[in-house]
Amino acid sequence: MQPVLYQQMREIEDRHWWFQGRRQIVSAVLSSLKRPADAKVLDLGCGTGGNLEMLLDFGSVTGVEMDTEAAALASQRGIAPVSQGSLPDELPLFDAGFDLVTMLDVLEHIEQEDASLSAVKQLLEPGGHLLLTVPAFEFLWGPHDESHHHKRRYRARSLRTALEAAGFRVIRLSYYNTWLFPPVALLRLLRKIMPAGDAELEATMPPGWLNRCLKTLFASERFVLTRAHFPFGVSLLAVAQKAEDSA
């Protein structure tokens, strides 16, 4: 991402409806998974650390972030140790494997998709889980993707194919941010026709009442995602497992 976006993210990610809603959705999905009581959790691409506190509910947490400034901002929170590193070949050395790895809107930033997913698999203990989220549908590509240095957006089939090619067993796969898909899709398409030149507009804080309404609406999708799946949405969520007999 552009450096200015990291500082902007740090300033709003604890309060913005999209970050709050995604945390509630991810927390609900993680709560539905079987995991060791003393689970080791790795947040890959932790950004400025907005998800670290939520992940403490699921075990001891470590963060890894590629960008120096973002890693420093995450570390300053004092929630979990944060190291600098990047996929696929420049990760820190860890003493043991992890029971859970999260990659929340990270994979779309990485050119070497296949090598990165294979590297993540090696970080997991047998039976361990990977939970990741990515943006969906190439037709929604716009200034937001450009400013955040995205390499791609996904469909469910392409994400499943990538995970299975890396040796994962996909146990949950769904679109999400579905309730808000119509207005978001309309806004993205209008920007292609009439570019506004403001790629950061979606990351600004709306008025308090609107922020609360959007968060409640977005987060309510967790009640569906723990039991079923959505056929479309602005984003995708996947849970994949490393086979018990994998080396």
Q: Looking at per-residue confidence, does 96 or 229 come out higher?
A: 229
Question: Is-cis flag, bond preceding 126, omega within 30?
Answer: no
**What global pTM score does this model have?**
0.93
Instruction: Give the pLDDT band of residue 128 (cuts 50, 70, 90).
Output: very high
Which pLDDT band holds residue 39 (cuts at 50, 70, 90)?
very high
**Whole-number Å distance between alpha carbons of 63 and 24:** 19
Domain assignments of the chain as residue spans, ordered by start:
3-241
Q: Kindly tell me if the per-residue pLDDT of 203 is higher than 70.
A: no
Predicted local distance difference test score (pLDDT) of residue 106: 97
Q: What angle do CA 67, 55, 62 make, to 5 degrees?
A: 45
pLDDT top residue among 76 and 147? 76
Q: Are strands 40-44 and 60-65 parallel, antiparallel or unpaired?
A: parallel
Q: Is the pLDDT of residue 113 over 70?
A: yes
- pLDDT bucket at 201, cuts 50 / 70 / 90: very low
Please tell me the CATH code under which domain 3-241 is placed. Answer: 3.40.50.150
The distance of Cα 164 from the centroid of its chain, to the nearest Å, equals 19
